[in-house]
Structure 1
């Protein structure tokens, strides 16, 4: 009797376990509806009609100022960027083009949905595919699917493209923007619709949140950083800082004051000065002085934004009446997202500090770039370390599924760094501290630029005989003189 009851219980338990396992196997954390997202792992959708996409040159015929501002922007260069193309080429070789389409969906959205972009490289493409995030990409967006993505947040291009509709007499182009359109809007070429989405960070979030193609880990979480910080609470959106000149950006960031209607521009300027640096060299090589000058101005604007984003304080720490430590507080004073943001496991923002005694002798130095372009292992770096499924260090975005270290500075936040000191009594200590930034480690940049597709000839296009030393921007430089004897 007891044996029968026990046997029945075992059978019942086994059945429950099997059923639970079956449900667990089906109930994945990140479910993917590939019918809803036909370009997966890009999460774009195309509300397809007979309405075609419009090349940027056509837009420029009526919107000359906006076109000139966009020309040479990181949006225009998003697909041509040789660093991106090197990364894309490596990704295709490592995991296949199907997965790499995730990147292409944001770097050339129209090229993906029309099927033009089939592989890394820039040859044989139409203007609208080659020119990345062109006018008609942003102004054809009719909505987003942020809450329907596998992670239930904005990720990997979760927007809807709808350049127009089918009319009785053929396709009708529809362009969307933040303003109430006038009756003359579009000049008979297209109709106009007001879109509140175009005033909001949600529009930008679609591509400025990059998640791993399978595990949906946030490799880039710029929108999340903004949404969880004070700028979202104060109604300052991406457009209010990145679609304005430098002075207006500072006012938006300092006073939480939205720009006036006439202050918005199509610069889309951020911290990617390396792209402007390379593109300017290409324009000079091609003999296009006007474009080269434009790119040089955009380069200066990017550097200015970096230098405006942070601040730094130097303070002594005394113990038992003697100087024991140096404290450096690095502050994010104007970026509406973390510093740094984007691919934080690739970006490098670090402290270079030198302490000297009153005779000028070096007591210690930290963070000085080595002769091969690498940072020393003890440099205090504000970025992230990626790791793969095996919990070992990884840097390639198709491998990174988590961060083992995440040291970025939130909006209006700070990080304190301490350095031990052991000066002799009676001395004064002079400190020079620099907060420095570059797009990537020198070796990483060399690996990516060395991996560009064959149709991107770095010498012919950019005049590069070899990968150049990456430019470094000093975001903040501070000096202080401390006494050894304290209170």
Structure 2
């Protein structure tokens, strides 16, 4: 009898313990919603009566920095028609709440103040419409990367503190990477030295974009950098994206640390399409000088892409006959993967053609079709997204994992083999191999640009009657003539 009671007692205790454990067990992506009041944006705002400062005000004392920032991807982040089309589609598909995640990085001040209430660019203050302006980066007082659902940087996990309230009213505080000089701020704002501005964590908040609910990393640029050789050699995002082309090349080739005088506020990267569209808008508006400046930024972005990678071509022979072409694609100078950001949207691919001595094609792959699509046999370096039903998906509010993820890590490479017909009736083949890049598939771009809000008239703003073919950048072109027999 005692043994039976003892056994029942143990069973009861085990059941109670399991129930208690089950009730207290945290979810995988556990976080405090009160801590993140703008969820799914993970921005925190130390709210005071200190207002955000329009970039035009900063220009008065910082004309050089303002000129560099003006027309940058940070400046254009909110007005980007591709972004606005995507945002409009997301709100219609999922609801208004999701827009805060996007707005938190494309216009942080506009989101936290509640000025931005959804897709569209009309009726907004200069602070809200200026995207990632001077005051955003220089008001960041901290980050909350560990407290996020994924316990790493995601979806704007930064703290904005543009100023504090005092007995005599608000005091603006602007933070930077160096010790402030005497009379810094000229009486308009106080200055504070910030070690955060000397770390890549500053950029990480917005350059890791996770699914708004499932917290899958749709964009993992910071993680790619942190896992690679650049982070190990103390080369930061700022060291490549806040310098000119020649300095960037030196940094990437030898892990050179730029001098303070070499940094700029241009924030140049691979998004040449945004510069391309903005230059078209400036031309349409008759602003020739602005269009010229944007064209230079466009050319700089294209040049970065051309410096980022390289190709090696090698023939493979079997029994003395040319059987395959081995192409090695190398990430030479990108401190993150190639491509990065929305890798299920970006397209980097190989186009190859081989001709016999009479000019006849014996091998072809990766040539863009008449409708702008790529053939099925194209060798792409990017990702394929899928939703929670494990079916192919493109839209970021649907994609919760990748079915294929084939990007090239920093200083890494990928090898592709192309088979050739047996017993080629030619002594040599002439080979052309291109590594090509565009921001998106043509149909995806058409879908997004067709979905822009009503206050973005593509014809009036950009002079677009129809969606043109997306510009393609040839990152590398190599030629070789190979004997078909040894």
Return the TM-score normalized by structure 2. 0.97
Which residue of 2 is the match for residue 474 of structure 1? Answer: 474
Cα shift at 1:6? 12
1:386 aligned partner: 385
1:415 corresponds to: 414
Using the alignment, how far apart are the partners of 2:212 and 2:280 within structure 1? 34
d(CA) in 2 for partners of 1:48, 1:62: 25
Distance 1:140 1:484, change over 3 A: same
- CA deviation string 1:113-147 (max 9, x = no partner): 11101010000100010010000000000111111
Using the TM superposition, give the Cα deviation of residue 66 of structure 1 relative to its aligned residue in structure 2, in angstroms.
Answer: 0.5
> Which residue matches 2:450?
450
Runs of 4+ in 1 over 3 A off after TM superposition: 1-23
- What is the alpha-carbon distance in structure 2 between the residues aligned to residue 67 and residue 356 of structure 1? 52
Instruction: Return the alpha-carbon distance in structure 1 between the equivalents of residues 18 and 260 of structure 2.
Output: 62
SS at match of 2:76: coil
DSSP 3-state at the match of 1:173:
strand
Map Cα deviations across residues 451-470 of structure 1 (whole Å, 9 max, x no partner). Answer: 00001111111111011110
User: In 1, are the aligned partners of 2:77 and 2:106 still within 8 Å (CA)?
Assistant: yes
> Structure 1 residue 4: deviation in Å?
6.4
2:465 aligned residue = 465
Query: In the superposition, relative to structure 1, how do residues 2 and 93 fare at CA in structure 2: closer, same or farther (>3 Å)?
Result: farther
Residue matched to 1:96: 95
- Counterpart of 2:81? 82
Q: Give the superposition deviation at 1:99.
A: 1.6
Q: Could you tell me how far 1:360 is from its partner in structure 2?
A: 1.6
* Alignment partners' CA distance in 1, 2:167 and 2:142: 24
Whether the 8 Å contact between 1:332 and 1:339 is mirrored in structure 2 is yes
Please say which of residues 129-138 and 47-56 is displaced more in the overlay: 47-56
Q: How many residues align?
A: 484
Quick one: distance in 1 between partners of 2:412 and 2:347?
Answer: 18
Residue in 1 that maps onto 2:167: 168
Is 1:22 matched with 2:40? no
For 2:36 and 2:403, the matched residues in 1 are separated by 31
Q: Distance in 2 between matches of 1:400 and 1:434?
A: 30
The 1-side partners of 2:11 and 2:191 are apart by: 68
- Describe the SS at the equivalent of 1:448: helix
Which structure 2 residues correspond to residues 223-234 of structure 1 after superposition, within 5 A?
223-234=222-233
Q: In structure 1, what is the equivalent of residue 182 of structure 2?
A: 183
Question: Separation in 1 of the partners of 2:74 and 2:272?
Answer: 13
Partner of 2:424: 424
Q: Gaps spanning 5+ residues in structure 1: where?
A: none
Does residue 361 of structure 2 align to residue 375 of structure 1?
A: no
Task: Determine if contact 2:44/2:157 at 8 Å carries over to the other structure.
Answer: yes
Tell whether the 8 Å contact from 2:387 to 2:401 is kept in structure 1 after alignment.
Answer: yes
Task: For residue 429 of structure 2, give the secondary structure of its aligned residue in structure 1.
Answer: strand
**Secondary structure at the counterpart of residue 270 of structure 1:** coil
Shift of 1:323: 1.2
Distance in 1 (alpha carbons) for counterparts of 2:192 and 2:5 = 71
Counterpart of 2:74 in 1: which secondary structure?
A: coil
Could you say which residue in structure 1 is the equivalent of 2:140? 141
Residues 426 and 485 of structure 1 are in contact (CA less than 8 Å); yes or no, is this contact kept in structure 2? no
Paired with 1:426 and 1:364, the residues of 2 have a C-alpha distance of 13
Once the two structures are superposed, what CA deviation does each residue of 1:18-65 show, in whole Å capped at 9, x if it has no partner?
A: 445434xx4200012111111111000001111111000000011001
> What displacement does 1:163 show?
0.6
Distance 1:293 1:476 in 2: 26
